[in-house]
């Protein structure tokens, strides 16, 4: 299994009275692509952040790619994420003053799987970003270009799992369709597990499974308190 969750409960330390996630059981198979949707504020980003080890699971079990994240320290989770997970954030989080190529190479450095310039340039080319563009600073790119750099950065260390959080909201329909096609092709070619969050249900074409968080998160129904 790529993801296996049992009896997970999560509340933010700053608001412990509010259970954001209460998931009795949920799993994702290796190589599966899952489109996760649900109304705003129901905990989609929170779930992705737990799966990537950015947030800590304090109650229940959370296994990702066979690793027990619920027993790991913060440092171990950071290392796990750098090695095994590619994460594309809503705001991309590129480093604005570094050029495109260096933004991508920096991620491979942190993963301890240093990929060379050639690998990075090939990947950027696959994502339709040419050599000239790769010399530009991230702050000089369009939103669509930044998005593709963020994907390249997530893929450079050859992660087994790619997590993408609502990445298309700033794009027009044509660019969105091109982006989705590119993403799904890359995921299939590299045989990765994909978890993709969006409000936009029309994007779920091509995924193995489309699921609402409310189907398996009990906290979303009850407005539950611990
Ligand atoms: N850092 C935080 N501290 C406290 N509460 C938070 C924090 N981040 C999110 N929340 C709360 O947790 C709940 C779930 O938020 P989350 O961002 O996971 O929802 P979401 O489904 O991804 O929403 P959206 O679709 O709007 O991005 C919300 O009620 C939110 O207010």
Instruction: Write the pLDDT tens digit of every residue in 173-202.
Output: 777 888 888 889 989 988 999 999 988 888
CB of 46 closer than 6 angstroms to any ligand 1 atom: yes
Tens-digit pLDDT profile for the chain (226 aa)? 999 999 999 999 999 999 999 999 999 999 999 999 998 889 999 999 999 999 999 899 999 999 999 999 999 999 999 889 999 887 778 999 999 999 998 887 776 666 688 888 998 998 889 889 999 999 999 888 898 899 999 988 889 999 998 776 667 777 788 888 888 998 998 899 999 998 888 889 999 999 999 999 998 765 544 4
DSSP state at residue 138: G
Rounded Cα distance, 27 and 13, in Å: 25
CB of 49 closer than 6 angstroms to any ligand 1 atom: no
Number of H helices and E strands in the chain, helices first, is 8, 9
CB of 19 closer than 6 angstroms to any ligand 1 atom: no
Residue nearest to atom 26 of ligand 1 (CA): 40
Residue nearest to atom 2 of ligand 1 (CA): 12
Ligand 1, atom nearest to 15 Cα = 4
b/e for 122-147, b at 16 or more Cβ within 10 A? ebbebbebeeebbeeebeebeebbbb
CB of 167 closer than 6 angstroms to any ligand 1 atom: no
The ipTM of this complex is: 0.97
Of the CATH numbers 3.40.50.300, 1.10.10.10, 3.50.50.60, 3.90.1150.10, which one belongs to the domain with range 33-57+85-217?
Answer: 3.40.50.300
Q: Are 36 and 197 in contact (CB under 8 A)?
A: yes
**HSE (CB half, 13 Å, CA atoms) of 153?**
26
CB of 14 closer than 6 angstroms to any ligand 1 atom: yes
Report CA(35)–ligand 1 centroid distance (Å): 18
CA distances to 9, 13, 20, 158 from 16, rounded to whole Å, are 11, 5, 9, 36
CB of 147 closer than 6 angstroms to any ligand 1 atom: no
CB of 115 closer than 6 angstroms to any ligand 1 atom: no
Residue to probe by mutation, ligand 1, list 43, 195, 225, most atoms within 8 Å of CB: 43
- Closest residue by Cα to residue 189 from 162, 210, 168, 163: 162
Global pTM reads: 0.90
Query: Strand order in 3-10's β-sheet?
Result: 21-28, 3-10, 59-64, 67-68
Rounded Cα distance, 63 and 59, in Å: 13
CB of 45 closer than 6 angstroms to any ligand 1 atom: yes
């Amino acid at each position: 299994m790529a993801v296996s969750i049992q009896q997970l409960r999560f509340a933010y330390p700053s608001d412990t009275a509010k259970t954001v996630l209460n998931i009795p059981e949920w799993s994702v198979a290796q190589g599966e692509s899952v489109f996760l949707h649900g109304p705003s504020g129901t905990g989609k980003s929170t779930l992705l952040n737990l799966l990537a080890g950015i947030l800590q699971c304090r109650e229940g079990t959370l296994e990702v790619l066979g690793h027990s994240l619920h027993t790991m320290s913060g440092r171990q989770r950071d290392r796990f994420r750098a090695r095994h997970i590619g994460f594309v954030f809503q705001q991309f989080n590129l480093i604005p003053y570094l050029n495109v190529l260096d933004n991508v190479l920096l991620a491979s450095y942190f993963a301890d799987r240093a990929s060379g310039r050639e690998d990075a340039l090939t990947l950027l080319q696959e994502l339709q970003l040419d050599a000239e563009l790769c010399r530009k600073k991230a702050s000089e790119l369009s939103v669509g270009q930044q998005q593709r750099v963020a994907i390249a950065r997530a893929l450079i260390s050859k992660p087994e799992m790619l997590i993408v959080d609502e990445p298309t909201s700033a794009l027009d329909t044509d660019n969105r369709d091109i982006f989705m096609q590119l993403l799904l092709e890359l995921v299939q070619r590299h045989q990765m597990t994909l978890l993709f969050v969006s409000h936009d249900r029309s994007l779920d074409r091509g995924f193995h499974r489309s699921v609402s968080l409310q189907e398996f998160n009990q906290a979303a129904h009850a407005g539950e308190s611990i």
